[in-house]
Amino acid sequence: MPDAPAHTSSTNGTAPAADRSSIIAVTALPVLVVIAGVLGFLLPDAFTPLAPSITWALGVVMFFMGLTLTLPDFTRIAKRPWIAVLGVVTQFVAMPLLGLLVVTVYSLPTEIAVGVILVGCAPGGTASNVVTYLAKGDTALSVSITTLSTLLAPVLTPLLTLWLAGSYMDVPFWSMFVSICQTVLVPVIVGVIVRVFASKFVDKISPVLPWLASIAIAYIVSIVVAGSAGSIATAGVLVLLAVVTHNLLGLGVGYGVAAACRLDTPTRRALSFEVGLQNSGLASTLATTYFSPLAALPGAVFSVWHNVSGALLASIFARRPYGKPPVDHIARDTAATGAGSTR
């Protein structure tokens, strides 16, 4: 799920206000989401009528992500194209297929199965940028992969969902394509444009953006949980088991692919998070719009769990030194003052 946008490095070696705010926000996000989920579960009648606003809330989150991106974030893709492409291909191949594997192994009910697969077909979640930074990984590469996967999502997400989930339920490819363009691509582009023409203003408000994004995400989760409150008591444990398995497999595959390609440790850490952490907010929104409230439940649960697992793994990585980072990594991370992140 998208998470709190943030600059991920600083030129003077000390995290600026936006960095600190993002780190705190991504740490507090699971707590906010749990509280929102509990409220949605206990007061479903209060939140269910708000379902039509989910699309707008996600658009707001993606707009905030666009505000944190700068032109160098896009040029970095061109400088290391094959590694960025490797990350995106691994994500859009591994996570959808792992979702199908989880669905098959656990014999999930139809609606939950579609929700798990949809999470796997979503682009990378931007919380991956923050946890990569915390894990001493290649932050600039993480931002590049998140940006590229988000730009490709309007085509790949509905296409992969149609392929893998089409046997479970009807998948409206073109409607999903238009919806993702409206709620993801357009807000991100608008955010980038605003950043270009009003960079000083954006810099002033950047410490607040992670918290606004976190509130918007919690708002989405409360509505999604409210819509499936009646099913949580019976399906909640099964959904949690499926989500945890999916996420951990994704983290492992991302790291394993990078290791198999003999990439350095910072890159391995970045790819682990890029593959394992998904934009579950988008998955929940699409599931609510085109399938059912129950299909949106895996996305809501993923939004909580992947922040927990990401933070824990980042803490483990950060405590495992790998020697002096290559000079090019230092240069890239030092330059990445406008890195976007929200998971």
Mean pLDDT of the chain: 81
> Quick one: what percent of the chain has pLDDT higher than 70?
84
The pLDDT score that the predictor gives to residue 11 is: 41
- Condensed to tens digits (0 to 9), the pLDDT of residues 159-205 reads 999 999 887 777 888 888 988 888 888 888 898 899 889 888 888 88
Report d(CA 155, CA 139) in Å as an integer: 26
The pLDDT score that the predictor gives to residue 15 is: 44
- Condensed to tens digits (0 to 9), the pLDDT of residues 8-53 reads 444 444 445 556 655 665 666 677 778 888 898 888 889 889 888 8
Q: Which of 175-184, 194-203, 245-254, 297-306 is predicted most confidently?
A: 245-254
Q: Is the pLDDT of residue 224 over 50?
A: yes
Three-state helix/strand/coil letters over the chain: CCCCCCCCCCCCCCCCHHHHHHHHHHHHHHHHHHHHHHHHHHCHHHHHHHHHHHHHHHHHHHHHHHHHCCHHHHHHHHHCHHHHHHHHHHHHHHHHHHHHHHHHHCCCCHHHHHHHHHHHHCCECCHHHHHHHHCCCCHHHHHHHHHHHHHHHHHHHHHHHHHHHCCCCCCCHHHHHHHHHHHHHHHHHHHHHHHHHCHHHHHHHCCCHHHHHHHHHHHHHHHHHHHCHHHHHHHHHHHHHHHHHHHHHHHHHHHHHHHHCCCCHHHHHHHHHHHHCECHHHHHHHHHHHCCHHHHHHHHHHHHHHHHHHHHHHHHHHCCCCCCCCHHHHHHHHHCCCCCCCC
**278 has which bridge partners?**
124
Q: Are residues 121 and 156 in contact, defined by beta-carbon separation less than 8 angstroms?
A: yes
Predicted TM-score (pTM) of the model is: 0.78
Q: Which of 177-181, 216-220, 221-225, 308-312 is predicted most confidently?
A: 177-181
List C-alpha distances in Å: 274 to 7, 177, 181, 251, 295. 17, 22, 21, 8, 23
The pLDDT score that the predictor gives to residue 102 is: 96
Which pLDDT band, with edges at 50, 70 and 90, does 317 fall under?
confident
Q: Is the pLDDT of residue 333 over 50?
A: no
The pLDDT score that the predictor gives to residue 25 is: 59
- Of 154-158, 195-199, 211-215, the one with minimum mean pLDDT is 211-215
- Report the pLDDT averaged over residues 294-308: 85
Q: Is the pLDDT of residue 272 over 60?
A: yes
320: Cβ contacts below 8 Å, ≥ 6 apart: none
HSE value, Cβ hemisphere, 13 Å, CA-based, for 49? 3
- Of 8-17, 108-117, 217-226, 242-251, the one with minimum mean pLDDT is 8-17
